[in-house]
Amino acid sequence: MAEKYNKLFNEFPPVSTQQWMDKVTADLKGADFNRRLVWKTNEGIDVQPFYREEDLEKLDYLNSLPGEFPFVRGNKKIGNDWLVRQSIQVKDLAEANKKALTYLMKGVNSLAFVFDGSELTVTDLSVLLKDISLDAVEVNFVGCCSRKVSEAFTEFVKQGGWDPKSIRASVEYDPFGKFALTGKFTKGLDHINQNAGKMIQNTAELTKFKTLAVNGKNFGNAGSSIVQELAYSLAQGAEYLTVLTEQGLTIDSVAKKMKFNLSISANYFLEIAKLRAARLLWAQIVKAYKPECECSCKMTIHSETGSWNKTVYDPYVNALRTQTEAMSASLGGVDSMTILPLNAIFEDSTEFSDRIARNQQLLLKEESNFDKIADPGAGSYYIEELTASIADQAWKLFLEVQEKGGFMAALREGFIQAEIKKMAAKRDMNIATRRENLLGTNQFPNFNEKLDQEINPAVFAPLDLTSEEAEIETLKPYRGAQAFEALRYKTDVYARTSKRPLAFMLTMGNLNMRKARAQFACNFFAVAGFDVLDNNGFETVEEGWAAAQKADAQIVVICSSDDEYAELAPAAFEAIDGKAIFVVAGAPASTDELKAKGIANFINVKSNLLQELKAYQSTLGI
C-alpha cells in the first residue's frame, strides 16, 4: 500500500519555492509582489500569500505533543473540550439562582455571576448556588469584593461537604488591571499585594479555584493589536508572579491560581495563533521562576468575544461576528469561553439573545465537533508560522516593557497607554477610510434601518472609569463603530422632527460606470442615515434634475464615467444652481478642471467617510 501511494505521489514532481515565486511574478505582470500580495497586519506581521514546509524548519516547539511543555498545542492531551460560560447580572440572589439553573439545563457548564461591588456571605452563597452541583459546574464571581467572596466560598464548600479538589471556580481579582482603568489604588499597593497573597494561601485546598485574574481583554477592547494585548497581558501576569514570589509564596502556588481573560477579535487565523503563542510564551515565563512542576507552566485562558468591533446598528451581524470569533477561540484551545449576546453592548440581554449566544457554542461542539480534536491547527504551515510570528513580536514588546521596569512602571510612565492609543487611532482611521470594514456600519448599511427609541449617549462614548484622583492616564475601552453610530443616530433624531435628507443618484452615460458609482454613492450616504434614491439612468441633465426636484432631494450625486464627467458634471452643476448639494461620484482626471468651475464635492474610495459625512450633516443643518 505504501508503495502504491509513493508511486502516486511520484507522478507529481516536487515544485520548489523559487518555481512558485517565478510563476507568481510572471502572473503579476510587473506589479509589485509585496504591495499586491503581502498583507501587512496591525501586528507588524507580513503575511505571505503562501507558505511551505520549509517555513517550519526553524520552529523548535513542533516536537511537543498536546498537553506537553510548552503547551503551545494546548493543555489537554486528548480532545479540545472547553467550558461554555454565560454571564448573569446579579440584582437579586434568588432570581439569579433561578436563571442559573435554567442556563444549566440548556447546555451551559460555567456560570459567571456579575455583581456591582457587592460582598457575599456564606448565607448569600447558599441562596445563589442552591441546587447547583459544584463538582459539575464552574462558578465565577465578577465585580465583587474578591477576598471576602473567596473566603465565603471556601467556607461554603467545606460546609457543603464538597471535595475541594474537584471544585472549579474563580474570582476576578485584578488590581493592576483595575488600576489601568481607574488610575488609582484605593488602599495602596502594599495592601493589594498582601491581599492577593492571603487569597492564594487561604484557598490552597481548592486547587482549581483561580483567585488572580489578568484581564487582557481590557487592552483588546481599548483598540490594541493582538500583539499588544498578548504582550501587555504577559507583562501584567509576570508582575504578579514577581510581586507575590518576593513575598515568599512559591511560583507553583501563584501560577496555578492565575487565569487570563482575553478578548477575541475578528482576525480569525491570527486569533487562533495568538492563543497558541500565549501558552508558548507564558510557559517560558513561568519556567524562568523555576517551578517544581512543569504543570505550573500551563496558562489557563478564558476568552470573551471582544466588544471593540460590535455594533448598535444591524445588531444581528454581531451574531455572525461572534460565531467566527468563537471558532477562533475554540480552535485555539481555550479553557472556557463567553459569547456576548448580540445586543449586549447597548441594552440588557434578552431571553432570545442569551439563547442565541449559548447555542453558538453548543453548535460548535455538538454539530461541528470542534471539541473532539486536540490542536486542530497543528501542522498548518500558515497557522504555525503565524504562531511563531505573533510569539516573536509579542516577546519583543514584552521585553520592552520589562526594560522599563515591568508592567506597573510602564503603566505609570504612560508607555502602554500611548502605544494602545496610537494603534487605536490607526484603526479608527482605517475604519473612517474603510480600509477596515464594519459590515452594516461603515460599509453596506441597512438602508431601511432607523432607530426610533432613545439610546443612552454612553453607548456612543468610550467607557471612562477614571478616578478623580487618578495617578495615570487610564485605558478607556470603546468600540470602533461608535463615531459612525453617533453620526447616524444624529440623523435619526433629526428625522423625528424634520425631513430625512435624501441623496439622489443622477445616473447618466456609461451603463457599467454609472451603476457601480451609484451603488457606491448610495452606500456612502446611507452610512449617515440619509435616504438614498437610485435610478436607471437619464437621457439629459435636465431630465435628471427635474426628477431630483420632484423627489425633493437635498443632495444630487452625478454618477457617470470619468470621460463623460468633463461635460456632464459642469452642466449638472449649472442646472442645479445651488438648489441642492452637488456631488461627483469618483475621482476623475478632470477633477482640477471641475473644481475650477466651482464643483467642490467629490466622493471616492479614498475619501475619509466619517469626516465627509459629518461635513454634509453640518451643511444640512443636522
Render 238-284 in DSSP notation, one character per residue. HHHHHHHHHTT--HHHHHTTEEEEEEE-S-HHHHHHHHHHHHHHHHH
pLDDT at 186: 84
Quote the domain boundaries for residue 31. 2-52
Q: Is residue 14 part of a domain?
A: yes
pLDDT tens profile 274-298: 999 999 999 999 999 999 999 999 9
Residue from 276, 100, 302 nearest 212 by CA:
302
Q: Is residue 273 part of a domain?
A: no
Q: Is residue 266 part of a domain?
A: no
Q: Classify 467 in phi/psi space as left (phi over 0), alpha (psi -120 to 50) or beta.
A: beta
Residue from 110, 38, 56, 80 nearest 275 by CA:
80
- Single-letter code of the amino acid located at 295: C
Q: Which of 15, 36, 52 is the last residue of a domain?
A: 52
Number of domains in the chain: 2
Q: Which residues, listed in sequence order, are joined to residue 111 by a DSSP beta bridge? A: 86, 139
Q: Which of 29, 52, 75 is the last residue of a domain?
A: 52
pLDDT at 7: 62
DSSP secondary structure code for residue 297 in this structure: G
Residue from 465, 478, 415 nearest 178 by CA:
465
Distance CA 73, CA 62 (A): 9
pLDDT at 5: 55
SS3 480: coil
Q: Is residue 59 part of a domain?
A: no
Distance CA 556, CA 558 (A): 6
Distance CA 355, CA 376 (A): 27
Contact (Cβ atoms closer than 8 angstroms) between residue 47 and residue 39: yes
| Ranges under pLDDT 50 in the chain | 1
Alpha-helical segments (H) within 333-377: 351-366
Count of Cβ atoms closer than 10 Å to residue 542 Cβ: 12
204: exposed, middle or buried (Cβ count in 10 Å: 0-12, 13-18, 19+): middle
Alpha-helical segments (H) within 467-621: 482-494, 511-526, 541-550, 562-576, 591-596, 609-619
pLDDT tens profile 82-101: 999 999 999 999 999 999 99
Contacts 24+ apart (CB under 8 A), 162-165: 162/134, 162/135, 163/135, 164/205, 164/206, 164/207, 165/205, 165/206, 165/207, 165/208
One-character DSSP codes across 560-592: --HHHHHHHHHHHHHHHTTSSEEEEES--TTHH
One-character DSSP codes across 432-478: HTTSS--BTTTBS--TT----S---GGGGS------TT-SSPPP---
Distance CA 221, CA 480 (A): 9
Distance CA 407, CA 422 (A): 18
Contacts 24+ apart (CB under 8 A), 366-373: 370/80, 370/327, 370/330, 370/331, 371/79, 371/80, 371/81, 371/82, 371/330, 372/79, 372/80, 373/79, 373/80
Q: Which of 35, 52, 69 is the last residue of a domain?
A: 52
Q: At a CB cut-off of 8 Å and minimum separation 6, what does 308 contact?
A: 220, 221, 222, 223, 263, 265, 477, 478, 479, 480
CATH number for the domain harbouring residue 566: 3.40.50.280
129: exposed, middle or buried (Cβ count in 10 Å: 0-12, 13-18, 19+): buried
Residue 146: its H or E element: helix 146-160
Q: Which residues, listed in sequence order, are joined to residue 589 by a DSSP beta bridge? A: none
Q: Classify 317 in phi/psi space as left (phi over 0), alpha (psi -120 to 50) or beta.
A: alpha
| pTM given for the model | 0.94
Crossing angle for the helix pair 226-246 and 189-202, to the nearest 10 degrees: 80
Q: Is residue 242 part of a domain?
A: no
- Single-letter code of the amino acid located at 181: L
Residue from 541, 538, 535, 537 nearest 522 by CA:
535
Please state, in angstroms and as integers, the Cα–Cα distance from residue 101 to each residue in 42, 82, 86, 130, 316, following that order.
42, 20, 12, 9, 27
Contact (Cβ atoms closer than 8 angstroms) between residue 270 and residue 385: no
Q: Is residue 164 part of a domain?
A: no
Distance CA 312, CA 345 (A): 7
Distance CA 437, CA 443 (A): 6
Q: Is residue 415 part of a domain?
A: no
Q: Is residue 115 part of a domain?
A: no
> Which grid coordinates are listed for 59?
520552529
